[in-house]
Structure 1
Amino acid sequence: MFDDEIIIALSKPVTIGKGEASISYHELKLREPTAGELEKATRADTSIGAAITLISLITAIPRTAVERISKRDLVAANNFLEGFTEPGQTAVEAGQS
């Protein structure tokens, strides 16, 4: 059994925008994806693109910011999301069935 939600502290904060209009993100608040979020994520051309889209949808962080997170943080987020799928099936593949 695992938690339904997790907060992943980013190894390096991600900032988008400039000056006073800039926004920094320090963590990813993840939860179980909805069927609609999985469906939208499966439209991406690559599995990494699908993971970025899914993380963006769940966290409500702009995709451009999620694109800048480190590989380590991407892997941690994806590992959590894969916990909601059948063994051997990625979160993105689960939305394709």
Structure 2
Amino acid sequence: MFEEEITITLIKPVVIGKGDAAITYEELKLREPTAGEIEKATRADTSVGAAITLISLIAAIPRTAAEKLCKRDLVAANNFLEGFTDAGPSEVEAGQS
């Protein structure tokens, strides 16, 4: 069983803008994606682009902020989101090898 929602505290907070107008993102609040969000994300040319789009849509952050995530934060968010698109654990993961 997996969580339906998760808050990921970013290893490296993302700052968009400068000075007083700067916005800092310190966490991502993620949930199960909707069919429409998945469809929008699959329009991307690469799997990384699809992950960035999906994170942006679900976490409600600008795509430019999602593009600035460090690799570890991107992987953590993507691993959570992929749990909803997979058919479940493989036979090996379920201990039926």
- Structure of greater Rg: 2
Q: Which residue of 2 aligns with 1:18?
A: 18
Tell me the CA shift for residue 87 of structure 1. Answer: 4.1
In structure 1, the residue corresponding to 2:84 is in which secondary structure?
coil
Cα distance in 2 between the residues matched to 1:83 and 1:36: 17
1:1-97 alignment, distance < 5 Å? 1-85=1-85, 86-87=87-88
Deviating 4+ runs (over 4 angstroms): none
Question: What do residues 20-60 of structure 1 show as CA deviations (whole Å, max 9, x unaligned)?
Answer: 11100000100000000000001101000000000000011
Cα distance in 2 between the residues matched to 1:87 and 1:32: 14
Tell me the CA shift for residue 65 of structure 1. Answer: 0.6
RMSD of equivalent CA atoms: 1.1
In structure 1, the residue corresponding to 2:2 is in which secondary structure?
coil
Stretches of structure 2 that go unaligned for 5 or more consecutive residues are 90-97
Q: Which residue of 2 aligns with 1:94?
A: none
Report how many residues are paired.
88
Cα distance in 1 between the residues matched to 2:79 and 2:12: 19
- TM-score, normalization by structure 1: 0.87
Stretches of structure 1 that go unaligned for 5 or more consecutive residues are 89-97
- TM-score, normalization by structure 2: 0.87
